[in-house]
Amino acid sequence: MPTYEFLCDQCHTRFEAQLHFGESSEHVHCPQGHAQTRRLFTPPGIVFKGSGFYVTDNRKRSGKKNA
C-alpha cells in the first residue's frame, strides 16, 4: 500500500499516511486531528525521457579576455 507524505496547514506537521486505492487525500487528518492537510508530492523518482527536453545555452559567452 502506498504511503504518502502530508503536511498539515494548521500545525505544519509533516506526517505520513497510507491511502487506500481510490481514497481521497482530503480525508486524511494530521496526528493532531486537523483536517486541513495537503499532500506532498515527493515521487521516488522522476525520469524525463524523450528528446528535446534540454536547454542549449548558445548565448554563453566566454567572458572578457584579460589581456
Nearest to Zn ion of 23, 35 (CB atom): 35
Contact residues: Zn ion, CB under 5 A: 8, 10-11, 30, 32, 34
- Calculate the CA 62 to chain-centre distance: 36
CB of 4 to Zn ion, least distance (A): 16
CB of 43 to Zn ion, least distance (A): 24
3-state secondary structure of 42: coil
* 4 phi/psi in degrees, rounded to 5: -115, 160
CA angle 1, 40, 49 (to 5 degrees): 80
CB of 54 to Zn ion, least distance (A): 41
Nearest to Zn ion of 24, 57 (CB atom): 24
